[in-house]
Amino acid sequence: MTPFRRLTITHAAMMGGDAAMLVALADSLFLSIDPSAARSRVLLFLVVSFAPFLVIAPLIGPVIDRAAGGRRTVIQLVAAARVGLAVLMAASLDSLRLFPLVFAALVLQKTYLVSKQALVPSVVRSEAQLVEANSKLGVISGITGFVAVIPAGLIQVSPIKGWGTLLYSGLLFTYALASATRLPPDVVAANPQQPLERVQLRSTGLQLAAVAMMMLRACVGFVFFLLAFWLRTKDAGTALFGLAVSLSAIGTMIGNTISPRVRSRVREELMLAASLGLSAAAGLLAAFLGGVGAGIMLAVVVNFAAAIGKLAFESIVQRDAPEANRGRAFAQFETRFQLCWALAGLIPVVIEIPGWAGFLVVGVVALLGMVNYLAGTRAVQLGRRPPSLPLPRPPLRRGAGRRGRARQSGSPRPHGGRPLPPPRPEGRRNNP
C-alpha cells in the first residue's frame, strides 16, 4: 500500500469521526442550552482553547518538523486523545463538562489538519502530484463525512442515541489511530529554514495570496459561528444549523472536485480573486434577501469558494517558492489559516449580530479582500510594491550560487539581499 493511500485512510477515519461527533451533539446540552448562556461559555472556551494554539504552534512546529516521524506522532497523539474525549463526552452529554470537552476536540481537529497538511508532500511521488493530492483528500473527507453520518443517524433514532453515537465516533478515531501507525516516519524538514527559502516565502505575490486565503478562511469561520447562534433563535434552529453544516460540506467537496480542472484553464491569481468575488457577491445578495435560506446559501458558497482558493494558493506556493520545503511551508500557512478561522468566529460569539448584518459583513470583507488582492497583483506586475503590504525581506547571503539565482515568480529576484528593479525592455538581448 502506498504512503498516500495510508494517509487517505487515516484522513477518512478522522473526518468520519468528526462527522459522527457533530451528529451526536445535535440533541445534547451543547446545542440545547439557551443561546445567551451558551454565548459566554463558547467565548470562554474558544479563548482558552486557542490561546495555547496561538503561542505554542509556532514554537513547537519547527521542532516537530525536524524530528523523524514528528508529524506522524502528532497525528497518533491527536487520534488517541480524540478516542478518550469521545468516551468522556458520552458520559457528559447532560453536564456542563461537555463544553470544555467539545472545544478540546475542536483544537485537536485543527492540530490534526495542520499536521496532515505538513505530511502530504512526503507521501506523493513528485511535486506535480502535490496539489492534486490535496484536492483528493478534500473530496475524500466530504464523501467520508456523508458515509459516516448514515450509521450515526441510525444510532441517533435508537435508544442509545447520544452516547452510542459518540462511542461510534470513538471507534472511528481508534481506526484512525491504528492507520496512523503505518504512516511513513519521514522528516518533514531536516534542516532549518534557509535564507533563500525565507525570501521566497515572503515574496510580495505569495504574501498577497496568503492574505487573500486568510480572508476566505475568516469568512468561513465567521459564517459558521454566526449561523450557530442566529439559527438557534428560529424554529427548528438545531435542524437548520445541521442542514447548513451538511450543505457546506457538499460545497467544499464540489469545490475540491472541480478545482484541478479550473486550475488547468485559469491562472491561480484569477482563481483566488474569483473566490473572494464569489463570496462577496453571495454575502451582499444574502444581506439583501435576508432569511434562513439566504444564510444557508451563503455558508455553502463561502465553503465552496474557500476550497477553490486553497488549491489556487497551494499552486502559488509551488510556483513562487521553488526552494521552500513544502511540508514546513504548508504547515506554517495552514496554522495561520486555522487561527483566522477561529479569530473571525469569535466576533459573532462576542457580539449578537442579526443575520442580515452578518451577511453584509461577509460581503464587504470579501469585496475589500478581492480589491486589495487585484490591486496588489497589478502592482507586482508593474514592478511596484503594494502599499498595503510593507513586508521586509530578510537579507540573502552573498555567493548563494545557483540556488541564490533561483527564479521567483511574481516578485523581484534576490541578489545579495537587495531586490533588483524590473528589467527594462530596451537594450535587453533575447538569449536562446
Domain hosting residue 27, numbered range = 1-191
Higher pLDDT, 216 or 249: 216
Q: Which residues of 101-112 are buried (b: 16+ CB within 10 A; e: fewer)?
A: bbbbbbbbbbbb
Write down the pLDDT at residue 51.
59
Does one domain contain both 239 and 375? yes
Does one domain contain both 160 and 278? no
Q: For residues 327-354, give the mean pLDDT.
A: 85
Q: For residues 91-107, give the mean pLDDT.
A: 81
Does one domain contain both 101 and 51? yes
Of the three residues 191, 221, 241, the one that is the final residue of a domain is 191
In whole angstroms, what is the distance from residue 240 CA to residue 248 CA? 12
Q: For residues 4-19, give the mean pLDDT.
A: 92
Cβ partners under 8 Å of residue 7, min gap 6 = 116, 119, 120, 123, 137, 183
Does one domain contain both 71 and 97? yes
Does one domain contain both 198 and 335? yes
C-alpha cell at 356: 442580515
- Judge whether residue 392 has pLDDT over 50: no
- Judge whether residue 99 has pLDDT over 80: no
Residue 55 domain-assigned (yes or no) = yes
Question: Model confidence at 420, in pLDDT bands (50, 70, 90)?
Answer: very low
Q: For residues 419-431, give the mean pLDDT.
A: 42
Write down the pLDDT at residue 25.
79
Residue 114 domain-assigned (yes or no) = yes
Q: What percent of the chain has pLDDT over 70?
A: 80
Does one domain contain both 242 and 332? yes
- What confidence tens digit (pLDDT) does each residue in 292-315 have? 999 999 999 999 999 999 999 988
Q: For residues 368-386, give the mean pLDDT.
A: 85
Of the three residues 386, 412, 427, the one that is the final residue of a domain is 386
Write down the pLDDT at residue 85.
93
Grid-cell match 503561542, residue found: 55
Rounded alpha-carbon distances, angstroms, from residue 378 to 271, 321, 384: 15, 20, 9
Residue 289 domain-assigned (yes or no) = yes
Write down the pLDDT at residue 56.
60
Write down the pLDDT at residue 140.
86
Question: Model confidence at 45, in pLDDT bands (50, 70, 90)?
Answer: low
Sign of CA dihedral 399, 401, 405, 406: negative
Does one domain contain both 248 and 157? no
Does one domain contain both 182 and 225? no
Write down the pLDDT at residue 299.
95
Q: Report the candidate in 317, 330, 332 with the shortest Cα–Cα distance to residue 59.
A: 332
Q: Which residues of 37-59 are buried (b: 16+ CB within 10 A; e: fewer)?
A: ebbebbeebbeebbeebeeebee
Does one domain contain both 25 and 171? yes
Residue 403 domain-assigned (yes or no) = no
The three-state (H, E, C) secondary structure of 51-69, written as one string: HHHHHHHHHHHHHHHHCCC
Does one domain contain both 203 and 187? no
- What confidence tens digit (pLDDT) does each residue in 342-373 have? 889 888 888 889 999 999 999 999 999 999 99
Question: Model confidence at 83, in pLDDT bands (50, 70, 90)?
Answer: very high
Write down the pLDDT at residue 411.
41
Domain tally for the chain?
2
3-state SS, residue 72: helix
- Judge whether residue 205 has pLDDT over 50: yes
- Judge whether residue 330 has pLDDT over 50: yes
- Judge whether residue 407 has pLDDT over 50: no
- Cα torsion for 349, 351, 354, 356, to the nearest 10°? -90
Write down the pLDDT at residue 403.
41
Of the three residues 133, 167, 191, the one that is the final residue of a domain is 191
Does one domain contain both 181 and 208? no
CATH code assigned at 134: 1.20.1250
- Judge whether residue 27 has pLDDT over 80: no
Question: Model confidence at 35, in pLDDT bands (50, 70, 90)?
Answer: low
Classify 259 in phi/psi space as left (phi over 0), alpha (psi -120 to 50) or beta.
Answer: alpha
Residue 167 domain-assigned (yes or no) = yes
- Judge whether residue 53 has pLDDT over 90: no
- Judge whether residue 412 has pLDDT over 70: no
The DSSP result for 191-254, as a single string, is: SPPPHHHHHHHT-HHHHHHHHHHHHHHHHHHHHHHHHHHHGGGSTTHHHHHHHHHHHHHHHHHH
In whole angstroms, what is the distance from residue 161 CA to residue 321 CA? 50
Q: Are 285 and 293 in contact (CB under 8 A)?
A: no
Residue 430 domain-assigned (yes or no) = no
Q: Are 360 and 284 in contact (CB under 8 A)?
A: yes
Residue 429 domain-assigned (yes or no) = no
Q: Are 423 and 231 in contact (CB under 8 A)?
A: no
Angle, vertex CA 33, rays to CA 94 and CA 95, nearest 5: 20
Q: Report the candidate in 225, 214, 219 with the shortest Cα–Cα distance to residue 353.
A: 225
Q: Which helix (H) or strand (E) holds 418?
A: strand 418-419
Query: In 43-202, where do the E strands start and end?
Result: none
- Judge whether residue 103 has pLDDT over 70: yes
Write down the pLDDT at residue 87.
93
DSSP 408: -
- Judge whether residue 12 has pLDDT over 90: yes
Q: According to the per-residue pLDDT averaged within each range, which of 100-114, 183-197, 280-294 is highest? A: 280-294
Q: What is the mean pLDDT of the chain?
A: 80
The DSSP result for 325-359, as a single string, is: -HHHHHHHHHHHHHHHHHHHHHHHHHS---HHHHH
Write down the pLDDT at residue 332.
83
Higher pLDDT, 355 or 153: 355
CATH code assigned at 197: 1.20.1250.20
- Judge whether residue 194 has pLDDT over 60: yes
Write down the pLDDT at residue 28.
65
Does one domain contain both 285 and 150? no
Residue 418 domain-assigned (yes or no) = no
Write down the pLDDT at residue 393.
44
Question: Model confidence at 402, in pLDDT bands (50, 70, 90)?
Answer: very low
- Judge whether residue 418 has pLDDT over 60: no
Write down the pLDDT at residue 310.
92
- What confidence tens digit (pLDDT) does each residue in 271-299 have? 999 999 999 999 999 999 989 999 999 99
